Chains A and B, each alone.
Chain A
Amino acid sequence: MAASSATSESGRQSLWYRIFYDKETRSTAIQVLTLTLLFAFFFYIIRNAVINLEAIGKGYSFKFLWEPSNYDINQTLIEYDSRSPHWRATIVGILNTLLVAVTGIIIATVVGFIMGVLRLSHNWLINKVVYVYIEYVRNVPVLLHILMVHGVIVNTLPLPRNAISIDDTFFLTNRGFYTPKPLFEPAMWAVFIAFVVGIVFSIWFNHYAKKVQDATGKIYPVIWISLAAIILFPILVYFVVGSPMSFEMAELRGFNFKGGLVLRPEYLALTLALALYTAAFIAEIVRAGIQAISHGQTEASYALGIKPNRTMRLVIIPQALRVIIPPLSSQYLNLTKNSSLAIAIGYMDIVATIGGISLNQTGREMECMTIVLALYLSFSLMISAFMNWYNKKMKLVER
């Protein structure tokens, strides 16, 4: 086709000839066709939707978001009552979803790493028990796990009046887990500033220690000094400014405990079920990651005189992480998306608030589902973006 004679002839060749035999023309034709069909398809379904909505006299408007929601929600991280508008209910739902996602991811990661390491243990018994557990969890649908954990919490824990109490401070009931709620006095800001200062200091110290180590080989106990800066320093400040914090205790009054912080059974069940389900997958990822690192790495590290725990921390784990992170990030995404199953046990997440009660009470399916889809999509994109960034940072620098 590149021959000059062909170019002069192509003017005379018909369009059909070129679509079949000229690579460039053919590519363009395929793309034009694809896009045309695609646009035609979207145009067609949107036109249908407009006609259908008009036929039953509904519009497409988000005005309802500013009307009072008329329903109550039992777990609200921000101020909310039945007079609040639907958009506020949506935010309550978003925060509840995020709460489950974040705590679930943390628990899943910790439990998953522990189980992954136990799977590599030389202890036959624990190895097999963890193996059976992982296989059980992975092969049963997550919806069943959620329903079962919820059933166990609601059916086996005691009623508030027979609460299991720890030191009359923490109470465990089938209405939730009650803990004292910290109340901050104004002077508390000094402690928060101390905390931030501690973090900034440890980041600086980390860099400094690395520079010193590169230059002289001297190793500082970085972890201990950082911990002291982040934890001990704020505590010291706390006492210096005169303990500006008190606790509001939960106490049984009437039907329920009043005051304090409460973790509701729906929240506990959803978080635990999702975390344990995801942990089983993470455990396998961790095991595969550690096993992927050749044993020669450990031996070489020992030969260099590096102590076992340093070998693990400096040689094995950084390499294993590179294998672990990509699948780990997709597990985090899965957990976030699975949190939408909250609806099965009545935890008020996005799907249950805007995609559930609001949708049902206002009858605005189109608008509500658009909001729900857009929200999940942006969560997913944010997690992917973060994980890609982290992955890039951890990537092997090829020489």
Chain B
Amino acid sequence: MSSVVEEGKTYEPGTYPDLPPPPSTVGIVGWVRENLLSSTTNIVITVLTLYFLWVILPPSINWLFLNAVFEGASRDECRAIMREAGASGACWAFIGHRFELFVYGFYPVEERWRVDLSFILMLAAIVPVLWDKTPQRGKMMIGSALAPFVIGWLLIGGFGLETVPTDKFGGFMLTLVIGVTGIVGSLPLGIALALGRQSHLPALRIVCVVFIEFIRGVPLITLLFVASTMLNYFLPPGTTFDLLLRVLIMVTLFAAAYLAEVVRGGLQAIPKGQIEAADAMGLKYWQSMRLIILPQALKISIPGIVNTFIGLYKDTTLVIIIGLFDPLGVGRASLADTKWQGLSTEVYVFVAIFFFVSCIAMSRYSLYLEKKLHTGH
């Protein structure tokens, strides 16, 4: 390195050789100096953060992996193994034993292929929606739109299959059923509500505003309570209404109200000139909405829409409070088994990981979409 510039030698202007930057500003050292130790405050923050990580990380990793027990038929066996090793960690054997219950709920064992098939169908249906380079995307989209109905039919029992009552639904499968139905159902309803709120017909507008504000003004759990305790009183005497169906309706209405506000934001961002231009072209209301306004408004609202969906998906955990067995509910019911009592941390961590992975996938996709659609003006 130092040989490039000979000591004491003189150079003509412009011929002085390029010097490497000083070692303290490049490589790891330079990076550390620049990013971690650039000022006193920075040094203090770095040290505090490192200390924090040191306190948090090693015990967590020990508990989660190194000291964890993966084999065993009961909590006592787990404890015994840990006692031998002289360390305490997670008893993942519990999750292993109950894994099927976590995934399928109480869905009959011999019918579980239907759940698997539905999951594959769902993935296949999502591809054309998410990936715009799918060959024949237009036709595939029709398939995607039909998929939820096919899946619903498959799960409940169409095609001459044995009927599976909805109280057998549980675990991650239930989360997906509620989440997907909510998403699929709330999108058209939300757009309709947003258009209604912007409508020039006062009666329509007031109805939409009242509906949206009412739903947004109360917590989802109270709506679920209404669904579970009161809804049957409003039905004709003698009729009952499947609990899951009631929950699905409530979740859809809830998400639709939030979605309507997101879409309204998009609609309001469209310059008035666009509507006027459409009117001037002689387009009818629905034509101008379908061809001019909605495509632009929806494009702007995509990040908000995806955020609403993520919120809806996370909110599916609340169904535990009215006695449906989502993963958390399955976990708690499993804890009532004398063999596995007292392992609530394992349940919480396991369910948290599941939600974290699926939600982060959704939010990453939203970021990608945001970037792609950010065409600028």
**A–B direct touch in complex (beta carbons closer than 8 A):** yes
Residues of A within 8 A of B (CB): 27, 30-32, 34-35, 38, 45-46, 48-49, 51-53, 55, 121-126, 129, 135-136, 138-144, 147-148, 151, 333, 337-338, 340-341, 343-344, 351, 355, 359, 365-366, 369, 372-373, 376-377, 379-381
CB proximity of A282 to chain B, nearest CB, Å = 14
Look across to chain A and name the residue whose beta carbon is closest to the beta carbon of B47. Answer: A125
Flag B36-62 by CB within 8 Å of A: 1 or 0 each.
101000100110011011000000000
List of B residues within 8 angstroms of A124 by Cβ: 35-36
Cβ A143 vs Cβ B233 within 8 A: no
Cβ A373 vs Cβ B226 within 8 A: yes
A–B complex contacts, Cβ < 8 Å, 16 sampled = A35-B203, A48-B236, A52-B235, A53-B233, A122-B38, A123-B49, A124-B35, A125-B45, A140-B314, A142-B314, A143-B318, A151-B348, A341-B221, A343-B321, A379-B217, A380-B216
Q: Does B369 contact A (CB under 8 A)?
A: no
How far is A109 from B348 in the complex, measured between Cα atoms in Å?
27
Number of B interface residues in the complex (CB < 8 A): 54
Q: Does B234 contact A (CB under 8 A)?
A: yes
Q: Does B201 contact A (CB under 8 A)?
A: yes
Cβ A139 vs Cβ B360 within 8 A: yes
Most buried by A among B218, B230, B328: B218
- Partner of A140 from B35, B225, B316, B356 at Cβ < 8 Å: B356
How far is A393 from B325 in the complex, measured between Cα atoms in Å?
47
Cβ B222 vs Cβ A141 within 8 A: no
Look across to chain B and name the residue whose beta carbon is closest to the beta carbon of A152. Answer: B345
Look across to chain A and name the residue whose beta carbon is closest to the beta carbon of B53. Answer: A129
Q: Does B141 contact A (CB under 8 A)?
A: no
List of B residues within 8 angstroms of A143 by Cβ: 317-318, 320, 328
Cβ A121 vs Cβ B38 within 8 A: no
Q: Does B268 contact A (CB under 8 A)?
A: no
Main secondary structure of the interface of B (DSSP, over half): helix
How far is A38 from B204 in the complex, measured between Cα atoms in Å?
11
Cβ A48 vs Cβ B234 within 8 A: yes
A148 and B348 contact, Cβ closer than 8 Å, known pairs A38-B207, A141-B317, A355-B225: yes
Look across to chain A and name the residue whose beta carbon is closest to the beta carbon of B42. Answer: A123
Tell me which residues from 87 to 130 in chain B have a Cβ below 8 Å from any Cβ of chain A.
none
Cβ B351 vs Cβ A340 within 8 A: no
CB proximity of A26 to chain B, nearest CB, Å = 10
Cβ A140 vs Cβ B355 within 8 A: yes
Cβ B42 vs Cβ A122 within 8 A: yes
Q: Does B202 contact A (CB under 8 A)?
A: yes
- Partner of A380 from B38, B49, B218, B321 at Cβ < 8 Å: B218
- Partner of A141 from B50, B219, B355 at Cβ < 8 Å: B355
Given contacts A27-B201, A141-B316, 8 further A-B contacts (CB under 8 A): A49-B233, A129-B49, A129-B53, A143-B320, A151-B345, A365-B229, A376-B219, A380-B217
Cβ B235 vs Cβ A48 within 8 A: yes
Flag B190-202 by CB within 8 Å of A: 1 or 0 each.
0000000000111
List of A residues within 8 angstroms of B214 by Cβ: 377
Cβ B204 vs Cβ A34 within 8 A: yes
Q: Does B274 contact A (CB under 8 A)?
A: no
The 3 closest A-B pairs by CB, nearest first: A380-B217, A124-B35, A31-B203
Tell me which residues from 337 to 368 in chain B have a Cβ below 8 Å from any Cβ of chain A.
344-345, 348, 351-352, 355-356, 359-360, 363
Cβ B202 vs Cβ A31 within 8 A: yes
List of B residues within 8 angstroms of A121 by Cβ: 45
How far is A372 from B50 in the complex, measured between Cα atoms in Å?
47
- Partner of A34 from B46, B207, B314 at Cβ < 8 Å: B207
- Partner of B234 from A49, A122, A144, A380 at Cβ < 8 Å: A49
